[in-house]
Every structure is written in C-alpha cells, then in structure tokens.
Amino acid sequence: MFALVFGLFSTFLGIIQVLGVMQQIESIETGVLCGGIKVTLIPAVYGMIIYMISLVIRIAEKPRI
C-alpha cells in the first residue's frame, strides 16, 4: 500500500513541477510537455504494479478455513 501512495504522491509533485515550468515559459512544445507528463507518471505505474503483486501474494498466502 505504501508503494501505491508514494507513487501517487510523487506523481502529484511531478505535475506541480511541470505546471510551474509551464507558468514560467510562455510557449512550450507539445512533445516536451507530453514527455514531462510521461516521466511524471512512471512512479505511479510502478507503485500500482507493486501493489497488485502484493495483493496476489497476500491472496495466495491467505490461510483457507
């Protein structure tokens, strides 16, 4: 659960940084903007992957009555 929350938190920080740069630069190319957003979403994706793997392991190890 920590990995998912940390991934989302770092995504929000990245988006805040992207918006700050966009505010300073008057004209920005679409490719640069999309590349920045793509890099920003990487921690969230890894956090979701780790969370899904941990859920599968937890379900597999759960004792059956």
Summarize pLDDT for 1-60 with one digit per residue, the tens: 777 788 788 888 888 887 888 888 878 788 888 888 888 888 888 888 988 998 899 888
Contact 49/24 with Cβ under 8 angstroms?
no
Residue 47 makes CB contacts below 8 A (sequence gap 6+) with 3, 4, 5, 6, 7, 8
The per-residue pLDDT for 53 is 92
Q: Where are the domains of the chain?
A: 2-61
DSSP for residue 64 = P
47, burial (CB in 10 Å: exposed 0-12, middle 13-18, buried 19+) = buried
Nearest in space to 39 (alpha carbons), one of 13, 62, 63: 13
